[in-house]
Amino acid sequence: MTHESKILSGLNDAQKEAVSHGPGPLLVLAGPGSGKTRVLTHRVAWLVTSGLARPEEILAVTFTNKAAVEMKQRIQNLLGGTGGVRAQTFHSACLYVLRRDSAKIGIDPKFTVVDEEARRELLVKVAKEFRLDPPDAAAAGKAISFAKNCLVGPDEFPKWAAEKTGEGSLLSQKMAEVVSGCGDAVPEVYAAYQEMLKKVNGLDFDDLLFEAVRLFRERPDVARKWAEIWKWVLVDEYQDTNRAQYEWLQLLVKKRRNVTAVGDPDQSIYGWRAADVENILRFKEHFPEAKVVALEKNYRSVPAVTSLADRLIQNNTRREKKTLIPVRPDGGEAQCLSFTNERAEAEFLAEKISALRGGQGLSWSDFAVLYRVNALSRTYEEALAKRGVPYVVVGSVGFWGRREIKDVLAHLRVVVNPRDVVSLRRVCLLQPGVGEATAAQVAALVLAGRPAAEVLSDVAGKPGIGKKARSSLIRLAKTLEVLETGIREKKPAAELCMYAAESTGYMAKLAKDRSEEGQERVANVGALVSAAAEIDASGGVAELLERAALASGDSDDGGGKDAVRLMTLHKAKGLEFHTVFLVAAEEGYLPHYQSSYGPALEEERRLCFVGATRAKDCLFVTWCRERTNWGRTAWNRPSRFLKEMGFEVNSYLETRRLSGTRWTDRIAAEL
């Protein structure tokens, strides 16, 4: 058997058809549990083994860092090494291009990637000039982010917002939601924020896409150069692309048109961040010669789950017609249960999880509780804790976003980008005796063009500076000088991280905290040094800082902990569990009260579809007659999605007793 044949071995007919497609555009419509990642990685391997592409000519784009790592590993397993295949997120790919060519549009290639925390800090500072408080600054930030993802700058913003209002599309609905909380100051705040980014030589995450598109538009020769480098482009989760991502791809594949888009319109759920489902629905309009392959076989869920999910999504009008075909035999269960209130609902799921785990030999991590909004989690957390059931709330701060990691890396950022006053302020405030006024004074002088170490030494000698602050500033100045020399001499990033943490007294300060949390922070710095050592094998400080910035928004998924997962429906995308509890299926929550009509309602239905199809064997959909929010108890109606799934929602009450616990619950239906 040839290596090419081995790549196709074990695939079903539709998967083989997609994997072995030759040159030209390809759209793979991949339903949940249909093996889309397998198709994507096998296609990369097939392109290489068939001789159509060299590894370094392939760019595979994903939406998350975790997915990129998984894709690289799978490709490596298939090919015995990635061999130069670049598998990364949109933001990483655009950053890679900008680091090499941004000077051609007037951007210093040594710019800092401004992470979300630093972005918020800059926005608050800018908003103060317009007498906006932090909540208004946050609202303006959302509007600015939305606009950038739609390739709208500050000058075009007023006209764009006016034209979009009342357009009737999902994008216009989501834009209206975002802009409504901002008042009329957004264009001015937007312009001032961009000016601030320019001063500190920074680009935020949205700028990476925005400026990469501008680069390709204004310099077609650069776009052609990269099209010759990446002759084959594959995109995962194409249904979640926004205007900026779509435009960048169009410019990249314009000449060769060797693009593979893999996705599912039925799982497009990110309209709130400007994702446009029309990008995948109109793929054939953009690429009339495209081949379309539908992956309809579902290998994940039992028929009871796939049938109700399929019935649900058939109610959407803007979709590609396809059906979920279960491969697994009958078994498992899908139920809809209703309760008097959220306490009874939470008590039920805690007891049910305990019973199923003990009766079927499952792990705690085989269970997930999914809800529409984070505010719903408290009741379920309390019920699980009361029963001694371990749980993890997915979405907490991931490794690269932890305070101690950002504190240490801020020292390196100041050296790499001398105008990064956000990081400079951070390291100043870490020093004993140094307050906001002194940090602001240092930042202002650095923005005026003076080296940070020189400024720190000068400020330390000024009248009015306390003894402790003087000593701290002098020590910090020395640290930055040593780091600058180390980076210039290309010393290992691990060594420089350790020096930054120890020379300033930061590690000693952490070590004084003997609590479990304090010792965990010490261990995290140790893990940072280990991560830097791994990166040293292929890169250095620059790569370490880029990886940290791009991953700072990643959330903690619980890792390998054996614990029940609690998360929003959005966070559940791409995951699967033996048993899923889809809770609070009530009008106002699911669908959300802001999205109960028009295209936004169709996205809510897709969100419910995503939640249901996370279940492999058991699905429990629950709703409550009454639920307390903001201290008020309100009567609820069952979600319209329940009937669309095929449940007969009845109105009678039944009292149950399980394990000595009594509650009143309403049984809606069982499959």
Residues forming the active site: 36-37, 236-237, 267, 614
| CA–CA gap between residue 444 and residue 438 (Å, rounded) | 10
Is 35 part of any known ligand binding site? Answer: yes
Containing H/E element for 577? strand 577-582
Task: Kindly report the length of the chain.
Answer: 671
Q: List the helix and strand counts (H, then E) for the chain.
A: 29, 22
* Collapsed DSSP state (helix, strand, coil) of residue 661: strand
**Residue with tokens 């809606």, as numbered in its chain:** 668
Angle between helices 467-488 and 452-460 (to 10 degrees): 160
Cβ contact 374:659 at 8 Å: no
| CA–CA gap between residue 649 and residue 585 (Å, rounded) | 12
Angle between helices 205-218 and 90-101 (to 10 degrees): 50
For the four alpha carbons of 458, 461, 466 and 472, in that order, the dihedral sign comes to: positive
Is 464 part of any known ligand binding site? Answer: no
Cβ contact 217:251 at 8 Å: yes
- Specify burial of residue 166 (Cβ count, 10 A radius: 0-12, 13-18, 19+): exposed
Is 30 part of any known ligand binding site? Answer: yes
Is 457 part of any known ligand binding site? Answer: no
Is 598 part of any known ligand binding site? Answer: no
Bridge partners (DSSP) listed for residue 368: 565, 580
If phi > 0 it is left, if psi is from -120 to 50 it is alpha, else beta; for residue 180 that is: alpha
Beta strands in 442-576 (DSSP E): 555-556, 564-568
In this structure, the number of other CB atoms found within 10 A of the CB of residue 74 comes to: 19
Is 37 part of any known ligand binding site? Answer: yes
Is 591 part of any known ligand binding site? Answer: no
User: Residue 48 gets which letter from DSSP?
Assistant: H
**Residue with tokens 């059931």, as numbered in its chain:** 389
Is 358 part of any known ligand binding site? Answer: no
User: Residue 272 gets which letter from DSSP?
Assistant: G
Contacts of residue 653, Cβ cutoff 8 Å, sequence gap at least 6: 340, 664, 665, 666
Which residue type does 216 have?
A: F
Residues that constitute the known binding site for ATP = 30-37
**What residues are designated binding site?**
30-37
